[in-house]
Chains A and B, each alone.
Chain A
Amino acid sequence: MDRTFAVAIGGAAGQGVATPGDIFAKIFARRGLHISAYNAYQSIIRGGHTFLTIRTGIEEVTCFGDRIDLLIPLNQDSINRHLGLMQSGSAIVYNGDAIKPGAHPPGAQLCPLPVNQLSKGSRSKVEQNTLALAASLQMMGVDFEPLAEILTEQFMRKGSKVVTENLDIARLGYDYASANFRPFPDPLPMSDTRYAVLSGNIALAMGGAAAGVKFYCAYPMSPSTGVLHWMAAHAREAGIMVRQVEDEIGVINMAIGAAHAGARAMCATSGGGFALMTEGLGMSAMMETPVVVIDVQRAGPSTGVPTKTEQGDLWQMLGAGFGDFPKIIAAPTDILDCFTLVPEMHNLADRFQCPGIILSDLLLSEGRSSVDPKQLSFETVIDRGEMIVSADATSTNGYKRYKITESGISPRAIPGVPGHTHTAATDEHDEDGVLISDEFTNPVKRRAMMEKRQRKVAGIEGAVPVPVLIGEPGTAVTLIGWGSTQGVIREAVQILEEEGISANQLQIRWLVPLHGEAILNILKSSKHTIIVENNYSGQFARYLRSETSYVPDGYIRKYDGEPFMPHHIVEAVREQLASKIQKPRLSVPMHEIMV
């Protein structure tokens, strides 16, 4: 990932940061470049400060990186905030009529555009953005045609006149840059692959469609709402029923109802909505009706910081629902994995007739990444488990919905099948579904049913793969992370290696079951271990310790709402390795760019 290029656009919400961002992402991906994009924004519809970073490169780009090569500030506030952080060799493209740059680091090229002159006095903010976009692409060594192609696609619906106007203004920006600004020394490379660009939320939704989800419901909650938006927009083509429900309690209960009647069902929310769902999660476990819930973590507690990222919901997931019951929890490790994990989770939830939780976060769900379209396969395995969907009218055979079996799994008849009527109850029940909660205490039956359900745990453990070390064993340092931090830790490992500090990575995807023994075996060969996570208290570190008694040599944590950048991890590792302080060592890197 040595040779990457990062462009950032800063402005107020409503100023049009998103559109040029989308255009850059599409041009890079169509050029055969990978991208990783992250948008730092506020919970505000108009105003405030939004800062979008798009990083591109010929090899896989696993995070948005440390450095900005080209900054497009759309207002004075944005240049004030970010100019001081620009490095030598970078460039700043801005409206020279409206924005006054302050002191700037040596070697950073200021590129003021005479917007009034070029746009002939038009006050359209879109023109300012198009001029900056075109000038920037020229400086990156991108031909005019890819931009013309995308602008034509974008404005086609508004008629050829609008297309021509936009192409003209883009051309002016492009030509102005070629006459007046210094291009970057290396033009952006190209490859033959055309990548798709998608957010984690789109990936989660498409993963659901690929898994055969036929019922999706949700209550809008940032940062999970993107799943609902994709589902709703594509529902009719995909044959998926999508419902917006009155609250998250209704959401999970409706999803379980649909699942109980035989449809694959899914829902997504964030921490606050998930809190409302937890009683329903227990119902799924007790009725043994599978349901898949996506929790897109944001910074909590309570309403918290709705537009900021955190890995702070792990313990809520571990403890969700009262009583003891089997559940499955996994955290996707990148945006493609958001797509891949969903069918896997549905298959497990169906096979083991229990709730499955997917733990994403704002960084993945609202971040964007390039994916080779071939990897978005809709031909994935669909395993619905032991389900009875039809039967001969006379084949009653004393059907018992909760039959005690060695695996703990009892074949599930869906309503409508003759000869298999039964009641599924949230009260404790016998094999045939009859309540035993109303009986005089029946410890024998209660124990038998508890053990039947819990026997599924062994089956789930067998079905979930053990984690694997990324890199060679025996390095100077092992970085342990979970879920969304995979990409940034991977880049930190590469930087450390380049600096002469050998490093490897253990990234946890399956959280429950955890495979503690396998983790301990991997960590045996590690000389120095550090757990990296995006929360205050080290939720994963505490969980790992509770499951395995394992204590690492150090921790790197961040809980300011922004994700890790590679240098945060690299600098902390360096400090911890050099430190003489007794373990455990804790680093809390400071986030430099204030948004």
Chain B
Amino acid sequence: MSTAVESKQLTVTDFKGKVDPDWCPGCGDFGVLSSLQKVLVEMNIQPHHVVTISGIGCSSNLPGFINTYGMHTLHGRALAVATGVKMANHKLHVVVTGGDGDGFGIGGNHFIHTMRRNVDLLYVAMDNQIYGLTTGQTSPTSRKGMKTKSMPYGNLEEPLNPIALALAAGATFIARGFSAEPKHLGNLIKQGLEHKGFAFIDVFSPCVTYNHDNTYAWFRDRVRKLEDDPSYDSSDWHAAMKRALLWGDEIPIGKFFQRMDLPSLDEAEPVLNDGPLAHRDLRIPPQVVRNFIAELI
């Protein structure tokens, strides 16, 4: 598919969506969108070779703000839809975006199983520890004690740890970014896109309207880059789990874990050896049909 358009040097404008983002001014999601667009330019991936898929929520509006093929699906279902897209055409780059409620709450089941299957896609969760689009309720990653409209006396429940969950579920690339660290985040997105298998990036993406606990300043004081520790080995699962459990005054960001020895689902599935399903001949060869019918006689 080398054509005139493909050989043209891309710019960020090529990835500009039909409309501008309508996120609140200062929303962390802006940083994620622009990092993603920049990386796609840097990697020279054509817009029509990318499918950006989301569920529902503020961050899930992202596919409308980027020029790629997009799917803005149901609340929590983006990873299931994305698995179908990737299986039907494994030549496409599939990027899934969404929030913590969408991915870890209502979509939790698909999150676990998509990791277990090692579907080759990049999943960027914009984690603001709150439900924003529904005007501020407790999310699965809201801190214990946090007061919201849905838990006005404070959250009684322990928050979910997405990094530890991803490690336990068998994700093969696991990272955490911070939307106010665009260079660092861009680097993680690039590695995630290059990773053959399920790549998960949990991005701290502050909600400036509804979350007054986990603000830019709160994160800035706490985040420490794993890359700054030369002794850290991201191929060591146990070391990754240890770091994943850190929370409080020091919160690690960066690449926690990566393994490249496992085939992704499309690599493991022999049916895909003959190329993308979407472009296959729909007819079953007559000899195969004869065998199918012979079994019944």
Contact = CB atoms under 8 A, between A and B. Distances in A.
Interface of A: 26, 29-30, 194-198, 202, 206, 209-212, 214-215, 217, 234-241, 243, 245-247, 249-250, 253-265, 279-280, 283, 287, 371, 373, 376, 378, 382, 389, 392-394, 414-427, 432-435, 438
B109 A257 contact: no
Contacts of B1: 418
Contacts of B49: 416
Contacts of A438: 22, 61
A430 B154 CA distance: 41
Interface stretch (B27-35, B88-96, B139-147): B88-96
A247 B272 CA distance: 24
A210 B283 CA distance: 7
A256 B84 contact: yes
A196 B70 CA distance: 46
A257 B48 contact: no
Contacts of A424: 70-72
Contact of A241 (B112, B271, B279): B271
16 contacts: A241-B87, A243-B87, A246-B110, A257-B81, A257-B84, A258-B88, A259-B88, A260-B84, A280-B74, A414-B89, A415-B92, A416-B69, A416-B92, A416-B278, A421-B70, A423-B69
Residue of A257, A287, A424 ringed by the most chain B CB atoms within 10 A? A257
Contacts of B19: 434-435
Top 10 closest A-B pairs, CB basis? A257-B84, A212-B282, A423-B70, A262-B278, A261-B88, A393-B3, A253-B80, A196-B296, A258-B84, A257-B81
A373 B84 contact: no
Interface in B256-297: 269-272, 274, 276-280, 282-284, 286, 288-289, 291-293, 296-297
Contact of B6 (A202, A243, A259, A393): A393
B48 A418 contact: yes
A576 B17 CA distance: 67
B72 A261 contact: no
A345 to B, nearest CB: 15
B12 to A, nearest CB: 15
Contacts of A423: 17, 52, 63-64, 69-72
Given A30-B297, A241-B271, A257-B83, A215 B74 contact: no
A393 B283 contact: no
A259 B110 contact: no
Contact of A259 (B17, B84, B293): B84
A254 to B, nearest CB: 4
A241 B277 contact: yes
B242 interface: no
Contacts of B217: none
B109 A250 contact: yes
Interface string B48-68: 110111001000010110011
Contact of A394 (B4, B72, B77, B286): B4
A133 B53 CA distance: 58
Contacts of B73: 253, 283, 287, 426
B110 A241 contact: no
B253 interface: no
Residue of A212, A416, A426 ringed by the most chain B CB atoms within 10 A? A416
B284 A419 contact: no
A418 B5 contact: yes
A205 to B, nearest CB: 10
B271 A240 contact: yes
Contact of B291 (A195, A212, A235, A237): A237
Residue of A209, A210, A254 ringed by the most chain B CB atoms within 10 A? A254
Nearest to B47: A421
Interface in B3-45: 3-6, 17-19, 22
Given A263-B277, A421-B68, A434 B18 contact: yes
B207 interface: no
B297 A195 contact: yes
Contacts of B205: none
Contacts of A280: 74, 77
A258 B277 contact: yes
Contacts of B81: 253-254, 256-257, 260
Contacts of A236: 270-271
Interface size of B as a range? 35 or more
A257 B113 contact: no
A188 B12 CA distance: 78
Interface string B196-229: 0000000000000000000000000000000000
B72 A435 contact: yes
B82 interface: yes
B46 interface: yes
Contacts of B86: 257, 261
Nearest to A234: B292
B80 A249 contact: yes
A6 to B, nearest CB: 21
A417 B296 CA distance: 41
A397 to B, nearest CB: 14
B85 interface: yes
Residue of B68, B77, B89, B110 ringed by the most chain A CB atoms within 10 A? B77
A373 B297 contact: yes
Contact of B84 (A210, A265, A435): A265
B80 A245 contact: yes
Given A250-B110, A418-B48, A287 B284 contact: no
Contact of A434 (B56, B64, B80, B279): B64
B279 A389 contact: yes
Contacts of B47: 421
Contacts of B67: 421
A382 B296 CA distance: 24
A253 B289 contact: no
B92 A261 contact: yes
A418 B46 contact: yes
Given A239-B274, A257-B85, 16 more contacts: A237-B292, A239-B277, A253-B80, A256-B81, A257-B82, A261-B85, A261-B86, A261-B88, A373-B297, A378-B283, A414-B278, A415-B48, A418-B6, A418-B46, A424-B70, A434-B19
Contacts of A198: 296
A510 B5 CA distance: 47
Contact of B4 (A210, A243, A393, A434): A393
Nearest to B77: A253
Contacts of B64: 423, 425, 433-435
Contacts of B293: 196, 373, 376
A214 B276 CA distance: 10
Contacts of B22: 438
A416 B89 contact: yes
Contacts of A194: 297
